[in-house]
Structure 1
Amino acid sequence: MLHKWRQWRAERFDARHPFPQAEWQQACERLPLLAALGDEERQRLAQRTWRMLHRKRLTLPEGLDFDLADRLSLLAQAGLLTLGWNDADAEEVFAGVHEIVVLPEAFRCQVAEMDEAGVMHEYTDERVGETWHQGPVVLSLADVRDSGDWTGFNVIIHELSHKLDMDNSLDADGLPPLSSDIDGREWYQTFMAVWDDLQAHLERGEPTPIDDYAATHPAECFAVCCEHFFTAPDVLSDAYPTLYSLLHRYFRQDPLARFKAYRRA
């Protein structure tokens, strides 16, 4: 019964909101990340992106020229995270995403953190993205523009990864809800091995294999690893093959295969 209701709702949506094929093609042409998607994957992502555009509020700077192709481009990168999951799961994990706010540039916020000794520290931090459990996802326009290629950087994927992480808790802690085929101990041990390796590199004064922001907090480790999984899968796979394999199972996608196909094209 639930399946039939979802099918009816999808059909009603499609009838009321004809898909903008020309603008979708423009969006895809702007995103090298999507270049090697198969036809079925591309179609599924197109449908989910179009529905997300109608179900999530997108708040933009006043007067910004951000056309439909731009909006589809932004949300397609968010949808890429859930492309390997079924429609019901993909919709459920982003049920807490009500609004995406795009600001003209990086922004500053006041941060209060307690150190290991129990001392509270307050400081001003400049950020290109921010996520709250029941609040909006905030993104810097400049960094949205810089996302979409195979560079290892993607502010959209990074911040939406935090939303996945928060799906089972009020705060991001690096442990999102897991499917039955992934054991929580395996997840913890795999990420701890990456965390320890990053800390060791920093202690020795050596460059880290992935963005060293991953070494600041377990939640950031997860988000940065997600960024690399989708946008620099060769780097992540070479540095941490066990982690890549784990994320392959978690997301049920293989961006490394897509990246290799992209390079061959």
Structure 2
Amino acid sequence: MLRRLQRWRAARFEARHPFPEHDWREARARLPLLAALPDATAGRLGHRAWRFAHDKRLSLHPDLVAEHFEFDGPARLALAAQACLLTLGWGERDHHDALASVHEILVLPEAFHRRVEEMDEFGVMHEYDDERAGETSHQGPVVVAYPDLMASGGLDGFNVLIHELSHKLDMGNSLDADGFPPLSSDMDPREWHRVFTAVWDDLQARLARDEATPIDDYAASHPGECFAVACEYFFTAPRTLHDAYPALYDLLSRYFRQDPASEYAY
């Protein structure tokens, strides 16, 4: 009954808002991440992104509008598709629930700064200015910087939208991004903790030895960032993640119910 209702709602939406095939082809042509998807997978993603783009506010900062930047149809679909790629392996209801707290995606002209207070291991509080390409909160907007948005969509392990939307998934069971999102009943929280702890420890050990890390070392700054960076690599450089941390790749593959290293032409 539920699936029939979902299909009816989807059909009703697209009867009112016909899917823009030309815009979707252009969106895929603009981003290697979307172009790499098999056509059947891309078709499902495009229709889900089309509904997402209507349900959420996709906004430009007034300074960008004043400079004559605008979201054309392909740009809106490309942005929405990168957000929806995370939940493409989930059913419609789980997708909707997971992104229910995403009300707006706001694009700013440049990276922005936040004053941060952080306590070190000796209990001393430090304050510093942190430059950020993106930011989100439990019920707040997803905020991304325009230059970093333009640098996303490739197959290189960087994607500011996937990073920030991963934080939204992470916050599904708490107010903070702690690297421990809600898990389905077939996933063991103890395994999740064990696998991520092993990755965290390896990153910390490499940094202590002044060695290069196989994924962006920002993952070693906080458990929530470890999850978000891992998600970036899972979708945009899956073989890099698989080769570096196969147990983590397998864990995320079961979590997202996707296998981009095998299924997509990366």
2:182 aligns to what? 177
1:207 aligns with 2:212: yes
Secondary structure of 1:139's aligned partner: strand
Once the two structures are superposed, residues 124-164 of structure 1 have per-residue CA deviations (whole angstroms, 9 ceiling, x without a partner) of 11100001111000001111111111111110100000000
2:200 aligns to what? 195
Counterpart CA distance in 2 for 1:98 and 1:58 is 9
Once the two structures are superposed, residues 179-215 of structure 1 have per-residue CA deviations (whole angstroms, 9 ceiling, x without a partner) of 1221000000000000000000000011111100000
2:129 aligns to what? 124
Does structure 1 retain, via aligned residues, the 8 Å contact 2:60–2:70?
no
1:30 aligns to what? 30
1:14 aligns to what? 14
Secondary structure of 1:18's aligned partner: coil
Once the two structures are superposed, residues 92-133 of structure 1 have per-residue CA deviations (whole angstroms, 9 ceiling, x without a partner) of 100000011000111112222333444433321110000111
Task: From 88, 97, 104, give the equivalent of 2:102.
Answer: 97
1:47 aligns to what? 47
Does structure 2 retain, via aligned residues, the 8 Å contact 1:36–1:258?
no
4+ residue segments displaced more than 3 Å? 1-5, 114-120
Structure 1 runs not aligned, ≥5 long: none
The 5 Å alignment of 1:42-81 reads 42-61=42-61, 62=65, 63-81=68-86
Counterpart CA distance in 1 for 2:5 and 2:160 is 35
Secondary structure of 2:214's aligned partner: coil
Does structure 1 retain, via aligned residues, the 8 Å contact 2:206–2:213?
yes
- Match of 2:16, as an amino acid? R
- Match of 2:60, as an amino acid? L
2:88 aligns to what? 83
2:262 aligns to what? 257
Aligned residues: 261
Counterpart CA distance in 2 for 1:3 and 1:256 is 29
Counterpart CA distance in 1 for 2:38 and 2:131 is 38
Report the alpha carbon displacement of residue 30 of structure 1 after superposing the two structures with TM.
1.1
Does structure 2 retain, via aligned residues, the 8 Å contact 1:59–1:102?
yes
- Match of 1:56, as an amino acid? K
- Match of 1:134, as an amino acid? Q
2:237 aligns to what? 232
> After the TM superposition, which of the residue ranges 190-199 and 9-18 deviates more from structure 2?
9-18
Report the alpha carbon displacement of residue 20 of structure 1 after superposing the two structures with TM.
0.9
Counterpart CA distance in 2 for 1:120 and 1:2 is 52
> After the TM superposition, which of the residue ranges 213-222 and 111-120 deviates more from structure 2?
111-120
TM-score (norm 2): 0.94
Counterpart CA distance in 1 for 2:260 and 2:105 is 25
1:3 aligns with 2:3: yes
Task: From 215, 223, 228, give the equivalent of 2:228.
Answer: 223
Task: From 220, 225, 246, give the equivalent of 1:241.
Answer: 246
> After the TM superposition, which of the residue ranges 53-62 and 4-13 deviates more from structure 2?
4-13
Does structure 1 retain, via aligned residues, the 8 Å contact 2:32–2:153?
yes
Counterpart CA distance in 1 for 2:118 and 2:208 is 22
Counterpart CA distance in 2 for 1:235 and 1:7 is 37
Report the alpha carbon displacement of residue 10 of structure 1 after superposing the two structures with TM.
1.7
Report the alpha carbon displacement of residue 32 of structure 1 after superposing the two structures with TM.
1.2
